[in-house]
Chain A
Amino acid sequence: MRINDAILGAVLLAFALAIGLYARTLPAIPGQEYGAAVFPTWIAFAIGACSLVLIAGGLRHWAETGAVTLASWARSGHHLRALAITVALVVFYILVSTPLGFIPTAFITLTALFAVLGVRLALAPVLAAVLTMVVHYGFYSLLRVPLPWGVLTPWAW
């Protein structure tokens, strides 16, 4: 999905303004001219300048490309749903993994993702269980990453 450069430029211009305004609130170092605000201010100016070039370029080609050129996936409900579920599953992992624990969270996440990507429904939980345990063994037992146990804490090994 290609968004017209003019729109992206406008978003970047707003972003640059926000950075610039925020940078003005940063305190100066007493007796010194170059403090914490210098770099963000420069970055804001540079992004602002680039966004103006993008807006000018985008407006020149507006007639040919329009506001948005839709890729084939953007018209496919199936693909969009798959993307939304994938993102939602990562968010689910972020929110739930600490209270629920790595093993159940990873199992649920992987089973759902396998199912969404077309792995046979009977096979998805099996694959998810095997992969969860492989990742857990590799990272928790071998590499000593403290993956959370959550509800399984009483049975932790």
Chain B
Amino acid sequence: MDAILLASQMVFQPQVLLTIVMAALFGLFVGAVPGLTATMATALLVPITFFMEPVPAIGAIVTCSAMAIFAGDIPGTLLRIPGTPASAAYTDEAYAMTRKGQGELALGANLLFSALGGLFGTAILIVAAPSLAEVALRFSSFEYFWLACLGLTCATVVGTGSTVKGLVSLLIGLFVATVGLNNPAGVPRFTFGNVDLLGGIDFIPAMIGLFAVSEIFRYVLGMSPDLKGAQTRVGNLFTGWGRLMKQYWRQSIRGNLIGISIGALPGAGADIASWVSYAVSKRFSRTPEKFGTGHVEGIIESTSSNNAALGGAWVPALVFGIPGDSITAIVIGVLYLKGMNPGPTIFINNPQDIYAVFLIFILANIFMVPAGWAAIKSARVMMRVPRNVLMPSILMFCVVGSFAINNSVFGITVMLVFGLLGFVMEENGFPIAPTILGIVLGPMLEENFVTSMIKSGGSFAGFFERPISGTLGVITLAIWVVPVALFVWRKTRA
């Protein structure tokens, strides 16, 4: 109880609340501008959080990501251009509603069910994380090794597009993580005598490059969406909320549950949750023929799901230090930096920090309703910001942000290299999120592997001797082996 009181004192301070409000506005803006993603919003925010106390820093990131995921629905509904990839699943549906003159209903449903989904995700996070942490306390390097493997496996298998390309992206991330002195042997690797590389490649400039700079390159090359001929005026958003709640509560709950489950899988975040929920909604709908014609049912399930996924993604991040998606991959970096090392012991040593994070989650989702309403009302202004002014400004923020990590221009070099890499990768169908997960999880994977091998005297059997470790190992291997075995079996039968 003391911890909750302490957490409330940490959160309910004018400067923390002000930070949350500012982060919310920033998240809404970035989310509502087509082409800029929730991950990009978070990436741009990180250099600023360096200079904050831990609680406002985490609060800013939580609020910003939740708002950006919701705000992505606004241009999706009004312009048929999803603001963030998490809104892409139901963009056509929402735009069809706008064309039928039901834009208010679509945006109102997005706002209401995003906030509810976020709150539901938070509730599960509050209930599940501490009990999981108790289990996690019994984990050794063997279990952590398999968990990291499972996270990387999910990132590759669950992601969209080709599995081989997802795997290559992941391996690039793992390779980047090997650069520098930070390895069990303490030997400089891939540094080629460069002093800057001795410290390794910092994942924050890498991430700013992959997610933000590559997007700027796409804009420069004229690949950004055209915004002409858009309807950007909306009426009363609150009409029909009661009816929607009564009629679609099942869809909302199912979306929440799917969102949390997918969010909690390491490597699979709000984007995938949204697509799966839309498909499930159509599959179990009594009126599947209405899908695609401007029907609110799928939107409700999907939008609930993508916001619930955010809470879900924090479960493995806080309990095991394993990111649920690219946003929590960033968050883990910030948590370490702020001395709030993620892992089960944080629930014992610093419960007030965890309760403060939970409180911020609740606040952010409640604040989403008035802030979201204001964002939708000012959609015309937000979406019409001249792109040729916005993009150079973002580039300058990226440059200074990358510099601020170590106060060195090397950070900017890393940013530029990864910006070009990210651009080439995306152009050729390689997803970029697994690269970031690889960079974050690589050191953990290597350290736990080497520690385990020393403990077991060089025997691989050690990885399967403990019950939880063995189970995790079998699950991880099965994810790889079963699809291949099924493929071979089908081929031989055919």
Contacts and interface: CB of A to CB of B under 8 A. Distances in A.
Note whether A and B form a binding pair.
yes
Pick the 8 closest A-B CB pairs, nearest first.
A117-B388, A36-B185, A73-B221, A36-B187, A113-B392, A143-B51, A145-B404, A35-B185
Contact of A43 (B50, B165, B175, B412): B175
Interface stretch (B89-97, B280-288, B450-458): B450-458
Interface string A18-45: 0100100011010011111011100100
Nearest to A116: B220
A35 B187 contact: yes
18 contacts: A1-B427, A3-B428, A22-B190, A34-B184, A35-B187, A38-B446, A40-B189, A86-B395, A114-B392, A117-B220, A118-B388, A131-B393, A135-B396, A135-B397, A143-B48, A143-B51, A145-B404, A147-B400
Contacts of B168: 12, 47, 50-51, 54
Contacts, number: 143
A106 B409 CA distance: 14
A73 B51 CA distance: 40
Given A50-B171, A86-B217, A135 B187 contact: no
Q: What DSSP secondary structure best describes chain B's contact surface?
A: helix
A50 B407 CA distance: 37
Interface in A131-145: 131-132, 135, 139, 142-145
Interface in A92-142: 93-94, 97-98, 106, 109-110, 113-114, 116-119, 127, 131-132, 135, 139, 142
Interface in A51-94: 51, 53-54, 57, 71-73, 76, 79-80, 82-83, 86-87, 90-91, 93-94
Contacts of B133: none
A76 B221 CA distance: 9
Contacts of B165: 54
Contacts of A53: 164
User: Which of A27, A36, A47, A97 has the most chain B CB atoms inside 10 A of its CB?
Assistant: A36
| Chain A, interface SS category | helix
A86 B417 CA distance: 13
B187 A27 contact: yes
B420 A147 contact: no
Given A12-B168, A47-B168, A110-B392, A86 B428 contact: no
Interface string B437-471: 00000100010011001100010000000000000
A154 interface: no
B416 interface: yes
A26 to B, nearest CB: 6
A82 B400 contact: no
Contacts of B190: 22, 40
Contact of B399 (A35, A93, A114): A93
B184 A90 contact: no
A17 interface: no
Given A19-B175, A114-B389, A117-B388, 15 more contacts: A32-B454, A34-B184, A35-B185, A36-B189, A46-B167, A50-B164, A82-B221, A86-B220, A90-B399, A90-B415, A94-B412, A110-B392, A114-B388, A131-B393, A143-B404
B409 A94 contact: yes
A10 interface: no
B217 A83 contact: yes
A117 to B, nearest CB: 4
B137 interface: no
Contact of B174 (A43, A142, A145, A147): A43
A86 B412 CA distance: 14
Contacts of B223: 71, 73
Given A33-B458, A86-B217, A73 B222 contact: yes
B178 interface: yes
Interface in B51-109: 51
A151 B397 CA distance: 22
A83 B220 contact: yes
A131 to B, nearest CB: 6
Interface in B122-177: 164-165, 167-168, 171, 174-175
